[in-house]
Amino acid sequence: MTVHDVCWRVQRFDEIPSRHFYAILAARVAVFVVEQDCPYQDVDGQDFEALHVTAWGSDDSVLAYARILPPGTRFAEPSIGRVLTTEAARGTGLGRALMEQCLAVTEQRFPGQALRISAQQYLEAFYCSLGFETVHGPYPEDGIPHLEMLRQAVSKQ
């Protein structure tokens, strides 16, 4: 499997077929609750407002996923969260491709706005490589050290 073997979809909640959203929730629970041994309330009511960015495999499996929240939902700025690559897709570059997709979507949907994330601390260098800077933290979130990171608005020349 390569980054080019996936089908990317950017969808509002009401555009996602129920069996696909079930697969997304299953992937989120597998990564965040089971793998990271972190019991927390994943279903938080914010999925209704989010744009859902998903990399789908040819067998309709979730390979990578993130959600984009509009400004004023979690932070004053738009934000990206629930970022994951499933075990089958790790080490393929799909995590970077996912974030590049998310950055392109946020620049299109929310032009001229900064972007704020709450990132797991061990991924700080990865997010810095995408233009984010640490602005707060570390702080515990669901028992895992996190950092608040900001990516300044992209200026159009």
Q: Which two tokens stand for residue 18?
A: 């129920």
pLDDT over 60 (residue 123): yes
Taking residues 115-122, what's their average pLDDT?
A: 95
pLDDT at site 38:
83
pLDDT at site 155:
72
pLDDT over 70 (residue 107): yes
pLDDT at site 142:
82
pLDDT over 80 (residue 65): yes
**pLDDT band (50, 70, 90) for residue 120:** very high
pLDDT at site 157:
55
pLDDT digits (tens, 9 = 90+) for 14-43: 999 999 999 999 999 999 989 888 888 889
Q: Which helix (H) or strand (E) holds 133?
A: strand 133-141
Q: Which helix (H) or strand (E) holds 115?
A: strand 115-120
What is the rounded CA–CA span in Å between residue 58 and residue 114?
34
* Domain assignments of the chain as residue spans, ordered by start: 3-151
What is the CATH code of the structural domain delimited by 3-151? 3.40.630.30
- Write down the pTM of the prediction: 0.93
Taking residues 47-53, what's their average pLDDT?
A: 97
pLDDT digits (tens, 9 = 90+) for 66-97: 999 999 999 999 999 999 999 999 999 999 99
CA distances 110 to 19, 50, 65, 101, Å, are 29, 13, 20, 14
What is the rounded CA–CA span in Å between residue 57 and residue 49?
25
pLDDT over 90 (residue 4): no
